[in-house]
Amino acid sequence: MSLRQKSTDYGHSFQTRARFPLLGVSQTNSIKECALLYETLLNKRFTVLLKNGISFSFNFTPGAFYHILGLEKLNGLYEFNNKSKSLIYKEIKSGNIPASKIENHRNYRKIENRIKYFDRIVGLLNKEHSKLIIEFDPSIVGNTKLLNTKYMFYAHERSGYTHFTVAQKEGTFYPETFFYENSKRYISEQEIVEVKDIIIVNINNQ
């Protein structure tokens, strides 16, 4: 699998081979580092071409960071009160919401692995010979909130798997969530297809 980045800046149209770095040890040891890495995914449209002929496109938005990291699990956090999801992302990135406030929340352990492995999203969108689950069937998993999930990128990580899901609602695809699971629960018996290519196109600032 290769990543091709297409730029249309200044009215020019050209294609160049581009790769996000594949990372070994985690580069995201704090939620602020996650926000800074996430910024590199913004203002791009990702089009995934599958070997079975299916294709789909999505783009990351500042507000999507909230659900991708599962920040809704930090219920009652004062620093999130009366703020939009987009503003919460920007304040995490700037440090206005200190990482310590999040790390000290009683439910922090529920998102700790998401932060630890968050840089793996980059790898999932760059992985050679990548495969993903199509038409994700939540009934196979049971007891899951992934009811709108359409596609699921995944990769083996230590004793488990990282997962990045793309959902569909009213015909629109959007990045849904990212998580680590110490089993094949979300992968077993699902339909898996190889990725042929991923094309990245620069889009206007969000």
Q: Which two tokens stand for residue 181?
A: 């699971």
Return per-residue pLDDT of the chain as tens, 206 residues: 444 444 333 232 223 333 444 444 555 678 999 999 999 999 999 999 999 999 999 999 999 999 999 999 999 999 999 999 999 999 999 999 999 999 999 999 999 999 999 999 988 887 555 789 999 999 999 889 999 999 999 998 888 999 999 999 998 999 999 999 999 999 999 999 999 999 999 987 65
Let me know the angle formed at the C-alpha of 46 by 43 and 48, rounded to the nearest 5 degrees: 180
Q: Which two tokens stand for residue 75?
A: 């219920």
- Angstrom distance (rounded) from CA 201 to CA 184: 32
Residues 6+ apart with CB under 8 A from 104: none
Residues 6+ apart with CB under 8 A from 97: 79, 80, 88, 91
Are 119 and 38 spatial neighbours (Cβ–Cβ below 8 Å)?
A: no
Report the pLDDT value the prediction gives residue 204, as an integer from 0 to 100: 78
Cβ-based neighbour number of residue 175 at 10 Å: 20
Alpha-carbon 162 to chain mean position: 10
Q: Which two tokens stand for residue 171?
A: 């015909």
Are 29 and 18 spatial neighbours (Cβ–Cβ below 8 Å)?
A: no
Cβ-based neighbour number of residue 119 at 10 Å: 22
Please tell me whether residue 80 adopts helix, strand or coil conformation. Answer: helix
Q: Which two tokens stand for residue 89?
A: 């992302």
